[in-house]
């Protein structure tokens, strides 16, 4: 990047006849873009932390009755064998309703000892010892406890939930080490520190009356949970929240804690004890087993002429140059925007470096360095030719999500559309060869930008209808979503399931996606539309009952559940449908939640609303949108 560093004498090396160092191919840092170094003592503030997992389970009346507590206990129990092996892996558990119940898992005790913390305003942890133990020492008693928790609380009549206080208590137990706090929550937190109130009813009346302040309900209700989250991050505690709920839980307020500590929200609404336990287990298992690091610090550097303007993602920022990540994993993306503040030299290169200092789950401190060097150009046409549509569009999606809590939805939609128009107008003005003004000219690399933009304006996050929690969850997902998952989140993939048997075994597992308009939907068809989070299966009215029987095991839709468990039956079509769904789950690293959508039902109307190329109430069709974009460009040019 134009800077020179001093190196130790022993690093010197003679040059070969080609002018390169003779050892260039033997030293990874001289020939690879990404390199990891084991950190030396000067990079250690303390001994590398152990891998600590503390589970916090809601046992309030609602959680018990809906089966959410049993599903959480079963998922944790099944996941214990996936925790990192070794003496440094530690585990603890607590349950909560309007009080907090810790469990001492010491081997000597015949059964785990329950210790109750009744004070939910000024929280403390009982017994400094034995709440968190090496998993090798307490696995049997933990499994026994997880099996008995649902029956211990089966007659619980306490409806209140002290979510904030329980998190604080879990944090106090983990404070000496740091680690991952995994919280299973089922109702709106109603008592103790960080309690919330039902803002949803207020939201419904505001949005339907076109209230200009409706977006404020997508902001956290106050600073209590944010203050708590900053303290968690300081002591390297990362929080993941699994919301297994059937009602409003104020995701906007709750999601502040995961987003500040490097975690995320998982959202199961409406929670189904039949279909959701499998997804809950898969989500928890992937959370534990995916590539990840702990107590991380990240910094991005760049060449002269540029400077880092902003970071965006799930982290905590204490100093302007670095971001703190109590945990970082392969699913999280950090977006960095740069400011161009000086001239580049033509034919020179511009360097970028991302350095991440982190601890592996096995306790090794490492530095991962990623370098990239890009050519500079003064030709705008070169920029358009090399444009990365997915990366650019992900930036637009993240900017839109950032704007949702502070602006009206119509303002955010207008902003998104003008970004698209401004990009295409620049291309038209500076790069396109002179042609008739009657044509809409799109750069080859960005020809899908208008389609993606239209899809974004119709997405869960930006459409007028929909629940507050759904929109807040969408915003929380987008804040850390990767480039490869941002596009399907707003522009889903649709495939026909009814004719999979007509495909050869040599064909790709997943058929080519269909364009998202109703012209592609036949009356005798079954279609899967997936966005990486959910899979919507749309069954048309004239479907052959034998096809239904082969895929779902029932020949009529009467009484069929909305949330599906896909089974495999002994026939070719069922096998192929299962193969397709499992391949999508593998690609997305997400256990798709399958929902059945029927024509003439609200679920069928929702499916129709995802066909973004069709005209929608208050929204343009794709053809109309292209005409609108073209007109706007023409008026800017004149």
CA dihedral 175, 286, 314, 294 (to 10 degrees): 40
Stated as kind and residue range, the H or E segment containing 526 is: strand 526-530
* The token pair that represents 271 in the structure block: 């929670």
Q: What pLDDT score does 206 carry?
A: 47
Spatial distance between the Cα atoms of 340 and 320, rounded to a whole number of angstroms: 18
Summarize pLDDT for 124-135 with one digit per residue, the tens.
Answer: 777 666 889 999
* Proportion of the chain above pLDDT 70, given as a percent: 96
Out of 86-95, 112-121, 205-214, 583-592, least confident range:
205-214
Q: What pLDDT score does 298 carry?
A: 97
Q: What's the CATH code, domain 389-463+619-637?
A: 1.20.120.730
Domain boundary assignment for the chain: 32-46+293-377, 51-289, 389-463+619-637, 492-609
Query: Three-state SS string across 197-227, please?
Result: CCCHHHHHHHHHCCCCCHHHHHCCCCCHHHH
* The token pair that represents 206 in the structure block: 């505001």
Spatial distance between the Cα atoms of 598 and 539, rounded to a whole number of angstroms: 6
Model-wide pTM > 0.85? yes
Residue 90 has pLDDT above 70, yes or no: yes
DSSP designation for 326 = E
Domains 32-46+293-377 and 389-463+619-637 share a fold: no
Average pLDDT over residues 428-447: 83
SS3 287: helix
Per-residue confidence band for 556, with pLDDT thresholds at 50, 70 and 90: confident
Out of 24-28, 148-152, 574-578, 586-590, least confident range:
24-28
Burial of 370 by CB count in 10 Å (0-12 exposed, 13-18 middle, 19+ buried)? middle
Per-residue confidence band for 433, with pLDDT thresholds at 50, 70 and 90: confident
CATH level 3 topology of 492-609: Severin (3.40.20)
Q: What pLDDT score does 205 carry?
A: 46
Strands (E), 230-360: 237-244, 265-268, 292-302, 306-312, 322-329, 335-340, 349-359
Average pLDDT over residues 106-122: 77
Q: What pLDDT score does 115 carry?
A: 82
Burial of 259 by CB count in 10 Å (0-12 exposed, 13-18 middle, 19+ buried)? buried
Per-residue confidence band for 170, with pLDDT thresholds at 50, 70 and 90: very high
Stated as kind and residue range, the H or E segment containing 257 is: helix 256-261
* Proportion of the chain above pLDDT 90, given as a percent: 70
Domain 32-46+293-377 classification at class level = mainly beta
Q: What pLDDT score does 121 carry?
A: 81
* The token pair that represents 3 in the structure block: 């800077």
SS3 464: coil
- CATH of region 51-289, choose from 3.40.640.10, 2.60.120.380, 3.40.50.10490, 3.40.50.410: 3.40.50.410
Q: What pLDDT score does 436 carry?
A: 62
Burial of 159 by CB count in 10 Å (0-12 exposed, 13-18 middle, 19+ buried)? middle
Summarize pLDDT for 203-260 with one digit per residue, the tens.
Answer: 554 454 455 567 788 888 889 999 999 999 999 999 999 999 999 999 999 999 999 9
Q: What pLDDT score does 128 carry?
A: 60
Summarize pLDDT for 568-620 with one digit per residue, the tens.
Answer: 999 999 999 999 999 999 999 899 999 999 887 888 889 999 999 999 887 89
Strand-pair category, 100-104 with 113-117? antiparallel
Q: Helix, strand, coil shares of the chain as percentages rounded to 5?
A: 35, 20, 40
Spatial distance between the Cα atoms of 264 and 290, rounded to a whole number of angstroms: 14
* The token pair that represents 142 in the structure block: 């933990």
- Name the nearest CA neighbour of 462 among 423, 530, 415: 415
């Amino acid at each position: 990047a134009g800077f020179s560093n001093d190196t130790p004498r022993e690093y010197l090396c003679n040059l070969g006849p080609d002018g390169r160092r003779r050892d260039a191919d033997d030293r990874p840092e001289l020939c690879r873009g990404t390199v990891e170094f084991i950190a030396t003592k000067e990079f250690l503030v303390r001994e590398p932390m152990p891998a600590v997992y503390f589970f916090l389970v809601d046992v309030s009346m609602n959680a018990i009755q809906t089966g959410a507590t049993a599903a959480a206990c079963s998922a944790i129990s099944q996941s214990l064998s996936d925790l990192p092996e070794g003496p440094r892996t530690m585990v603890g558990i607590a349950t909560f309703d309007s009080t907090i119940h810790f469990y001492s898992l010491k081997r000597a005790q015949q059964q785990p000892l329950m210790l109750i913390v009744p004070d939910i305003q000024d929280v403390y942890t009982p017994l400094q010892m034995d709440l968190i133990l090496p998993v090798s020492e307490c696995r049997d008693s933990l499994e026994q406890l997880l099996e008995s928790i649902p029956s211990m609380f089966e007659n619980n009549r306490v409806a209140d939930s002290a979510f904030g206080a329980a998190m604080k208590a879990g944090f106090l137990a983990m404070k000496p080490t740091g680690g991952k706090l995994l919280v299973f929550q089922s109702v709106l937190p109603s008592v103790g520190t960080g309690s919330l109130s039902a803002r949803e009813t207020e939201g419904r009346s505001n949005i339907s009356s076109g209230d200009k302040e409706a977006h404020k309900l997508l902001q956290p209700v106050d600073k209590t949970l944010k203050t708590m989250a900053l303290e968690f991050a300081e002591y390297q505690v990362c929080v993941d929240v699994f919301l297994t709920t059937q009602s409003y839980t104020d995701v906007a307020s709750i999601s502040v804690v995961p987003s500040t500590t490097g975690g995320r929200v998982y959202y199961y609404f409406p929670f189904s004890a039949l279909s959701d336990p499998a997804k809950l287990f898969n989500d928890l298992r992937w959370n534990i087993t995916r590539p990840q690091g702990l107590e991380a610090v990240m910094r991005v550097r760049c060449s002269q002429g540029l400077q880092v303007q902003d970071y965006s993602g799930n982290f905590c920022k204490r100093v302007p140059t670095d971001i703190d990540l109590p945990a970082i994993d392969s699913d999280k993306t950090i977006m960095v925007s740069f400011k161009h503040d000086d001239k580049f030299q033509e034919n020179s290169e511009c360097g970028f470096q991302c350095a991440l200092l982190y601890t592996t789950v096995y306790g090794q401190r490492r530095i991962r360095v990623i370098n990239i060097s890009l050519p500079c150009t003064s030709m705008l046409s070169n920029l358009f030719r090399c444009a990365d549509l997915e990366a650019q569009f992900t930036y637009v999606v993240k900017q839109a999500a950032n704007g949702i809590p502070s602006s009206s939805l119509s303002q955010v939609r207008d902003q998104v559309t003008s970004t698209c128009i401004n990009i295409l107008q620049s291309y038209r003005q500076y790069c396109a060869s002179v042609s008739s003004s009657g044509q809409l000219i799109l750069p080859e690399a960005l020809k899908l930008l208008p389609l993606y933009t239209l899809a974004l304006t119709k997405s869960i996050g930006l459409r007028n209808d929909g629940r507050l929690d759904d929109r807040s969850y969408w915003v929380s997902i987008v804040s850390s979503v990767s480039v490869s998952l941002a596009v399907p989140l707003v522009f889903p993939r649709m495939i026909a399931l009814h004719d999979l048997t007509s495909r050869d075994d040599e064909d790709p597992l997943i058929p080519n996606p269909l364009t998202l308009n109703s012209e592609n939907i036949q009356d005798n068809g079954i279609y899967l539309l997936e966005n990486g989070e959910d899979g919507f299966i749309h069954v048309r009215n004239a479907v052959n009952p034998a096809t239904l029987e082969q895929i779902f095991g029932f020949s009529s839709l009467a009484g069929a559940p909305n949330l599906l468990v896909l089974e495999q039956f002994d026939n070719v079509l069922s096998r192929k449908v299962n193969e397709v769904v499992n391949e999508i789950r593998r690609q997305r690293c997400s256990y798709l939640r399958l929902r059945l959508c029927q024509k003439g039902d609200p679920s069928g109307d929702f499916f129709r609303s995802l066909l973004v190329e069709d005209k929608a109430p208050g929204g343009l069709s794709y053809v109309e949108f292209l005409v609108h974009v073209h007109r706007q460009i023409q008026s800017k040019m004149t």
